[in-house]
Structure 1
């Protein structure tokens, strides 16, 4: 039996709704903060900047205490209807045990972000609140707006030209979608409980080191039992690995070896992850992947 709580669907955003902008990880340039706020305004929503979004402490957007305070303030503020993370980078992991999960359950609201923000998505998932793996940036930013307003994200087709698309297998799978950045998922083992039985696993991988870190991360998740019962894999961008080889192997070989042990359908070549124009994937709600037709479909993340 799955230990995940029942889904607590946030309400869709009405025109004029408030969206909090927070920096739980690395800092953003002022121009990026202003641009994100302007985009949200153009959607007909009201951006609310966290008190510490302009702070800097090394590569972090201020102290752990202040970044956590901004996030919890957004969770606890009844006027805030969604939370947008200004960027990933590094630092979200430090906040995990201080997040007001009870407050999130009492007033569920979607979180938007990807990369390092995967750590926060896991908290939302543990408390049964859907979230959006994506960014308020790029050519598909309106998809985020539509998802927050109650729209069902359009079906996504695998791109056979995308690096890694040849990892697609055969078969179909459906279940709640959860995942994100591979490195962050593996780092969360032992810190947050994992039970992904019955889930479709979303993976996007960016190269921060060699093939070994991909192998170690997938092996850690497997040996920890975090992937027990996963019914399928939706594989996004493999950023930075396109021309990388290590002793005759590429990341394709590593993934074919590691994911093959799961014995489930894999749909690769999906437009999720580290790219200037990422699409949004709703986490915590129903997803279906069809490796035979190359199609992934999703449910709405708000009601």
Structure 2
């Protein structure tokens, strides 16, 4: 739909009416697109390794589009590629190469009728919160996580938890327990460094997850994503007026590589609370936050203190607006690695009694 801009305000719909796209089978074609930043054009060697590993891990055949490697492509060109991927009946899943910071200019150019006509599993995170929210608003489940340029291409291998959840999201639809892999990294090697193809970034032991709220089990559909991007989505009016649409659901929250401090994190959470979003859900998953960047790696004590401040802020602010919510902080999804891919609009269970988290990838 070149040149057209579609309605930016999504229709109101019940969370239980979401469609689960059919799974792919080995040998099917999978679209690999760059709805935000075209990282493959910046670091093609990492991208090429990611495409080989995608085929090895899933048995799917990667298919690139004109803007997959095109740096500086327009919002309309990227929207055209998204539409082309969903309109092609031979494409059975869609993956984003990476996030970025301007996908909010892309989603208003998409045609929901094209996606509804042939729903397909979509994997992405960070700036792809925009596209996942757009799909959710138009009745299609997706998956939060799975950047080919970050989680498939770099390092000596694909992390086991990432490979397992990627296969579940795209192929098997099984139910998996979300576990802590025991180690975590905030950033990998510079993609322009040949070592990025064979070495992980600096990894450190993780801490036990922190639980708060009542000791009960909650099963519900998920919504959320990168909290900075959620703030943009809410500002742009791309969320239904009625926060009750999230009733009984599970909120996913994580922070980006921008490493916002606990004060800013609390401001965004407070605004979400005033909007009614925190009170509507029955459980909240808060990811382990990145605290180091490519340019600056704080000492271990400072990294731990940052994570503790964000943890305490999350628990305090959620309790202020919803003391009955089950809360778990430290789950490895979002911007750290190893990364679990999680259902977006699909079903998860957060068990505050057993202190377990489960995801259904159907």
* Shared fold, TM over 0.5: yes
Partner of 2:130: 119
Structure of higher CA gyration radius: 2
Of 32, 45, 53, 2:68 maps to: 53
Partner of 1:165: 209
Question: 3-state SS of the aligned residue for 2:224?
Answer: strand
CA distance in 1, matches of 2:260, 2:18: 36
Question: 3-state SS of the aligned residue for 2:331?
Answer: coil
Q: 1:72 to 1:30 in 2, by over 3 A?
A: same
CA distance in 2, matches of 1:255, 1:87: 26
Whether 2:271 is the aligned partner of 1:193: answer no
Partner of 2:359: 298
Q: Greater CA deviation, 192-201 or 135-144? A: 135-144
Partner of 1:222: 273
CA distance in 1, matches of 2:332, 2:289: 10
CA distance in 1, matches of 2:207, 2:269: 19
Gaps of 5+ in 2: 1-11, 152-157, 183-204, 293-300
CA distance in 1, matches of 2:36, 2:228: 15
Partner of 2:336: 275
CA distance in 2, matches of 1:276, 1:296: 18
Larger helix percent? 2
Question: 3-state SS of the aligned residue for 1:142?
Answer: helix
Superposed, 1:59-98 pairs within 5 Å as: 62-98=73-109
Q: 1:36-94 deviations in whole A, cap 9, x for unaligned?
A: 2212222221111011111112xxxx211111111111111111111100001222222
Q: Greater CA deviation, 141-150 or 282-291? A: 141-150
Q: 1:6-60 deviations in whole A, cap 9, x for unaligned?
A: 1212111112111000001112121232122212222221111011111112xxx
Q: 1:238 to 1:101 in 2, by over 3 A?
A: same
Assess if the C-alpha contact under 8 Å between 1:13 and 1:149 holds in 2.
yes
CA distance in 2, matches of 1:265, 1:68: 37
CA distance in 1, matches of 2:353, 2:79: 43
Question: 3-state SS of the aligned residue for 1:189?
Answer: helix
Alpha carbon RMSD of aligned pairs, Å?
A: 2.4
Deviation at 1:153, TM superposition (A): 4.0
Gaps of 5+ in 1: none
CA distance in 2, matches of 1:267, 1:101: 34
CA distance in 1, matches of 2:66, 2:103: 17
Give the structure-2-normalised TM-score.
Answer: 0.75
Deviation at 1:146, TM superposition (A): 3.2
Partner of 1:31: 45
